[in-house]
Amino acid sequence: MILLKKANELRRMLESENSIGFVPTMGALHAGHLSLVERSMIENKVTVCSVFINPLQFNEKLDFEQYPVTIEKDIMLLENSGCKYLLLPTVQEIYPTGIDNLPRYELGGLETILEGKFRPGHFQGVAHVVHRLLDIVRPNRLYVGEKDFQQCMIIRKVLDITNPGGSTELVICPTVREPDGLAMSSRNARLNEEEREKARALSESLSYIKNQFRSTPFPELLRQAQNILEKNGVKPDYVEIADADNLEIVPAYADNRRLVALIAARAGDIRLIDNMPLN
Ligand code: AMP
């Protein structure tokens, strides 16, 4: 595996490649990230990863400062995965003109609901880093996790805005979970033993919704799902059922819509998100 810090060096190396899969990450890699790499390895001649903790997408200073960093382990895991290029850029390399006065992306209503509502500015930060990384790597396929359901939609929007010819295909990969159902996440590393135990409630609550959504009215179902979280000492920011195509909140069951249940909740100080497609 070739490690690079400079965007233009990577660009030069990729110039002659015509089958590139790209997996952008913020590091602290786990099996969820590696599932994206594995998929990319199958579908492309060359797989490129990036590890970059993007300051622009953090709306809480403490969350940024305490984001887990395990770079040596990450390098080892990627080396073993068969990834060919790893970009480890500095903030200056990603944002050469600085992070103030950057233009805004027109992300529409997606930016102000669910995660967007609770994390102001987050998706603009995501849009900036994705745009910049795509510009450097110019992949044939971009691999992202359904774990970040709303982020997948934002990235699709960024691709529509910045890549109108559609030369990059977006590949959305299923959520990888721990044996007890907890969605793998870099932030899980910050949970203490008690919080880790509580965090199971997110997937438990989503599974409950999935089992009941055809038979229980949604307001009642969402109350019960919230109760599962609260009973386990997890504080929900939101529990919602939405249209999986546009994330519009759906008030009642309709079998002609693709539905997804989404949760954001805190176990102790650690904010976690998860979702489950329902039908
Ligand atoms: P992150 O390092 O959290 O920015 O994640 C990098 C990529 O890995 C994103 O596309 C995530 O959606 C994806 N990802 C994170 N956790 C999981 C998981 N448990 N299963 C599948 N993909 C994931």
Q: Which of 54, 142, 147 to mutate to test the pocket of ligand 1 (most atoms within 8 A of CB)?
A: 147
Q: Which residues of the chain fall short of a pLDDT of 50?
A: none
Q: How far is the CA of 78 from the centre of ligand 1 (A)?
A: 15
215 C-alpha vs ligand 1 centroid, how far in Å? 32
pLDDT of residue 227: 98
The pLDDT assigned to 163 comes to 85
Please name the residue whose Cα sits nearest to atom 22 of ligand 1.
145
Task: Evaluate whether 25 touches 49 at the Cβ level (below 8 Å).
Answer: yes
pLDDT in tens, 4-14: 999 999 999 99
Which of 33, 38, 83, 143 to probe ligand 1 with, by most ligand atoms within 8 A of CB? 33
Atom 12 (ligand 1) nearest CA: 145
**pLDDT confidence of residue 66:** 97
Q: How far apart are CA 89 and CA 138, in angstroms?
A: 16
How high is the pLDDT of residue 20? 98
Ligand 1 atom having least distance to the Cα of 24: 6
Report pTM.
Answer: 0.98
Atom of ligand 1 nearest to the CA of 151: 12
**Closest C-alpha to ligand 1, atom 18:** 32
- Residue 17, pLDDT score: 97
Residues with active-site annotation: 33
What pLDDT score was predicted for residue 165? 76
* Pocket of ligand 1 from Cβ distances under 6 Å: 25-26, 32-33, 35-36, 144-145, 147-148, 173, 175-176, 183-186
> Which pLDDT belongs to residue 162?
93
d(CA 241, CA 262): 6
* 53 CA → ligand 1 middle, Å: 13
